[in-house]
Each structure stands twice: as structure tokens, then as C-alpha cells.
């Protein structure tokens, strides 16, 4: 379709989309930047195994990037953010930084739970073999 959104997967489009995602763009933001529909990308991820692997890796790298941002946000939380009329009060900036950190932590735990979840797995995997010898007690 000339001039419309691309719907056919090409390696070039897939790589560029995944680069945007790996560098911190959300999937909807990357789709918008590349004039792709979210549905098309989801279809590609189910129909094309190579793209699905690339897409999964990009999302994991984006999650790692979010992890790195946590320290930056925390370390810079006391720097007033510039607004249209100067800088906001420190309290507002700290609350905004807290929200940014909490949101990233939530996303990280949801995206990579095995690596970053606070939950401790207490499950035990074991097998027990029981055998009974039938003996004649009435001899």
C-alpha cells in the first residue's frame, strides 16, 4: 500500500524497531515513530520466529536500561526540574522522582521476574520411591 503503514515484515524494519525499543522507547512510541501499528508488530512477533527473538531481546535490553535509570533518577532527585515559569519546589520534584522510580521498578519486576523479583522461591522438587515387599506373616 503506497504511502500507508508498512504491514509486510522486512529485516530492516524489524531491526530498526528493535533498536528503538532496546534504547528505551516503549513499543507504542517506537511503532508511532516508524509509522507501524501495534497490531502489525504483534502479528510479526507471532508469525516470524527470528523477529520474535529479536523483539524479546530488545524488550529485555530496554528493561535493563530502566534498571540503570533507577540510580540516575535517585541520584538526581534533588535537582529542581525546569518548568515554564522557573523551577518546581523540591518536594514536587522528589515526589515525581519517586513516581518515576516506582514505575520503573514495577515494570522491571513484571518484565524480568526471575532476575529482579523480591519473591523467594521455596518450592522443593523431590521424588520419593516407596516399595513394599509382600511377605507371608502366617507361616
**Strands (DSSP E) along the chain, which ranges?**
82-83, 86-87
Beta bridge mates, 83: 86
Categorize the per-residue pLDDT at 1 as very low, low, confident or very high, splitting at 50, 70 and 90: very low
User: Is the residue at 40 inside a domain?
Assistant: yes
User: Is the residue at 123 inside a domain?
Assistant: no
Please tell me the predicted confidence (pLDDT) of residue 2: 47
Domain residues for the domain of 93 are 11-114
What total number of domains does the chain contain?
Answer: 1
Model pTM? 0.63
User: Is the residue at 130 inside a domain?
Assistant: no
Contacts of residue 55, Cβ cutoff 8 Å, sequence gap at least 6: 14, 17, 18, 21, 41, 44, 45
pLDDT beyond 70 at 116: yes
The CATH number of whichever domain residue 86 belongs to comes to 1.10.10.60
**Cα 24 to Cα 7, 21, 101, 111, distances in angstroms:** 23, 5, 15, 14
pLDDT tens digit string along 69-107? 887 877 775 555 555 455 555 777 778 888 888 888 888
User: Is the residue at 126 inside a domain?
Assistant: no
Q: What is the mean pLDDT of residues 42-64?
A: 94
User: Is the residue at 82 inside a domain?
Assistant: yes
User: Is the residue at 100 inside a domain?
Assistant: yes
pLDDT tens digit string along 3-32? 567 688 999 999 999 999 999 999 999 999
Please tell me the predicted confidence (pLDDT) of residue 11: 94
User: Is the residue at 110 inside a domain?
Assistant: yes
User: Is the residue at 72 inside a domain?
Assistant: yes
Contacts of residue 100, Cβ cutoff 8 Å, sequence gap at least 6: 73
Contacts of residue 6, Cβ cutoff 8 Å, sequence gap at least 6: 13, 34, 35, 36, 40
Report the C-alpha gap between 70 and 72 in whole angstroms. 5
pLDDT beyond 80 at 118: no
Between residues 64 and 4, which one has the greater pLDDT? 64
Contacts of residue 74, Cβ cutoff 8 Å, sequence gap at least 6: 97, 101
Using the structure block, give the residue that is written with the C-alpha cell 530488545: 58
Amino acid at each position: 500500500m503506497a504511502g500507508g503503514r508498512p504491514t509486510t515484515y522486512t529485516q530492516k524494519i524489524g531491526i530498526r524497531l528493535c533498536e528503538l525499543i532496546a534504547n528505551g522507547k516503549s513499543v507504542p512510541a517506537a511503532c508511532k515513530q516508524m509509522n507501524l501499528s501495534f497490531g502489525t508488530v504483534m502479528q510479526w512477533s507471532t508469525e516470524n520466529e527470528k523477529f520474535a527473538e529479536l523483539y524479546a531481546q530488545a524488550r529485555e535490553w530496554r528493561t535493563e536500561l530502566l534498571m540503570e535509570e533507577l540510580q540516575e533518577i535517585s541520584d538526581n532527585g534533588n535537582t529542581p526540574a525546569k518548568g515554564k515559569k522557573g523551577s518546581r519546589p523540591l518536594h514536587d520534584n522528589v515526589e515525581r522522582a519517586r513516581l518515576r522510580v516506582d514505575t520503573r521498578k514495577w515494570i522491571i519486576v513484571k518484565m524480568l521476574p526471575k532476575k529482579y523479583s523480591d519473591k523467594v522461591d521455596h518450592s522443593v522438587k523431590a521424588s520419593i520411591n516407596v516399595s513394599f515387599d509382600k511377605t507371608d506373616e502366617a507361616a
